[in-house]
Amino acid sequence: MTLSLDGYSQLILAGTWVTLKVSFLSLVVSFFIGLAGAMAKLSSNPMLAWAASLYTTLIRGIPALVLMLLLYFSVQMGLNRVTENFGMQQIDIEPVSAAIMVLGFIYGAYFTETFRGAYLAVPRGQMEAAMAIGMPWFRAFRRIQFPQMMRFALPGVTNNWLVLVKTAGLVSLLGVNDMVKAARQAGNATMRQFFFYGVVAVLFLAITSLSQVLLNYLERRFAVGVREARL
Amino acid sequence: MIDLIQTYWKSYLWTDGFNTTGLAMTMWLLILSCAMGFVLSIPMAIARTSRNPWLWRPVWLFTYIFRGTPLFVQLLMVYSGFAGIHFIRHSPLLWSFFRAGFNCVIVTFVVNTCAYTTEIFAGAIKATPFGEIEAGQAIGMSKATLYRRVILPSSLRRALPAYSNEVIFMLHSTSVAFTATVPDLLKVAVDVNAATFMTFQAYGIAAVIYLGVAFLLVGLFRQAERRWLAYLQPQNLQANPRPKEQPC
């Protein structure tokens, strides 16, 4: 068994870029869905809180792969039906952006739970004090609540991100040309599937290890204002 | 929708008439991989917490690799990759084993869940209060007895909440088995979708069944926690009034 990439390094590199893009952009989407979901879950409006609870319970109870196939293909089918009825040309959803939206929607539920817990961990008085000196709610949230709750949220965010990256390895099943698909093509062409999937596994390991280092740094950064007793 | 359920409900739940399919296959995968992963992870967790670097370093490397890469890629390495390795291809015993998609799936799942479970159990063993171990030593227990009678019972109980998460996570992970042609619940949904083009309904039924199983597992683990972690529960006298003592 040789260790040469047989001229497939470009393909795998392009796939790695797609995997990174899909995971990072779905992290951004799910981050904002998570913040909105946490606010909804904690809101005093019972309808909003109920809808957010339904969202997190349903999404977290169903395997991500099932949801990916369900959402991706049924949205496309629904869209086809609409365009057919109106006699328009078929609109094909572009796989990469669809994968980002679907992954973002799924992990939004996990981030909702993370942020809900983190929001509750910050003493109420902080927000009340900010409002009392006349800050509008959004500014108080951005300057007072958010930086403090991120310290409690970061371990959960790290965990969600690592699971999200590993789930992003499934997007080749939706037709995205990510690095798993690149490895499949390279492996089938050279009959060295084990080697090429192994390369992808190493790349995933590199991504997860590097993110752990970065997120540990962020965790220390957000805990800068907290006094710790040292022995 | 009604037609679809009437035609395919048996496939979704247990059989397509020839093979075990659907929910029954998913549960079989889950039980088999969790049971074997559990048995393997206990000695590995003990090795992981050992002070001997020759013991803990290999286990650390094993969990690091298998927790850091996606299960799907691991499955592809076994299912598509092993066939191209000369040594496996030309050993009749190994090849007859790894030729079957089901065996590849089980091997991958066991190794994967073993890596996660090892870390969970190792964390719980490390959290054993030192007094419990010292008390055991003080009455002259051997190392094996100490593990069997003190450390393992208390740390496995403490690991129960994290372990229940891992089992639910594994239930969700079993859905990648369909890529290795194992007729699990998702594979049935994929086939029904291909046959009927009723995408939402085909996958939706599978999603609802997965949801039901996840709720069932959560309920079972809650019962288990109430039974084995009762001594750690906060005392809530309001909800569970203590029975009045009977006068003799």
Over residues A53-112, the pLDDT tens digits come to 999 999 988 998 999 988 888 888 888 888 888 877 777 778 888 889 999 999 999 999
Evaluate whether ipTM surpasses 0.90: no
Number of domains in chain B: 1
Query: Domain range holding A164?
Result: 22-180
Distance from CA of B154 to the nearest CA of A (A): 26
Q: Which residue of B has its CA nearest to A197?
A: B77
- pLDDT (0 to 100) of residue B47: 93
Domain containing A170 — which CATH number? 1.10.3720.10
Domain containing B125 — which CATH number? 1.10.3720.10
Considering the domain boundaries, does residue A231 fall inside one? no
Considering the domain boundaries, does residue A195 fall inside one? no
Q: Which amino acid is at A71?
A: L
Considering the domain boundaries, does residue A113 fall inside one? yes
Q: Which of B76, B171, B207 is facing A197, going by the closest CB pair?
A: B76
Q: Which residues contact A8 (CB under 8 A, 6 or more apart)?
A: A182, A185, A186, A189, A190, A196
Q: CB-based contact (8 Å) between B76 and chain A?
A: yes
Considering the domain boundaries, does residue B140 fall inside one? yes
pTM: 0.87
Considering the domain boundaries, does residue A215 fall inside one? no
Number of domains in chain A: 1
Considering the domain boundaries, does residue A105 fall inside one? yes
Q: Mean pLDDT throughout A179-198?
A: 88
Considering the domain boundaries, does residue A143 fall inside one? yes
Q: Do A191 and B84 touch (CB under 8 A)?
A: yes
C-alpha–C-alpha distance, residues A167 and B178, integer Å: 16
Considering the domain boundaries, does residue B50 fall inside one? yes
Question: Per residue of chain B (248 residues), what is the pLDDT tens digit?
Answer: 777 777 777 778 887 778 888 888 999 999 999 999 999 999 999 999 989 999 999 999 999 999 999 999 999 999 988 887 878 887 888 888 888 889 999 999 999 999 999 999 999 999 888 899 999 999 999 999 999 999 999 999 989 888 998 999 999 999 999 988 888 899 888 888 888 888 888 898 899 999 999 999 999 998 998 888 887 776 665 555 555 566 55
Mutation for B interface: A66, A80, A174, most B CBs within 10 A: A66
C-alpha–C-alpha distance, residues B21 and B185, integer Å: 7
Q: What are phi and psi of B40, to 5 degrees?
A: -70, -30
Considering the domain boundaries, does residue A59 fall inside one? yes
Considering the domain boundaries, does residue A91 fall inside one? yes
Q: What are phi and psi of B184, to 5 degrees?
A: -85, -170
The residue assigned the tokens 């409690």 is A152
C-alpha–C-alpha distance, residues A54 and A57, integer Å: 5
Query: Domain range holding B24?
Result: 2-232
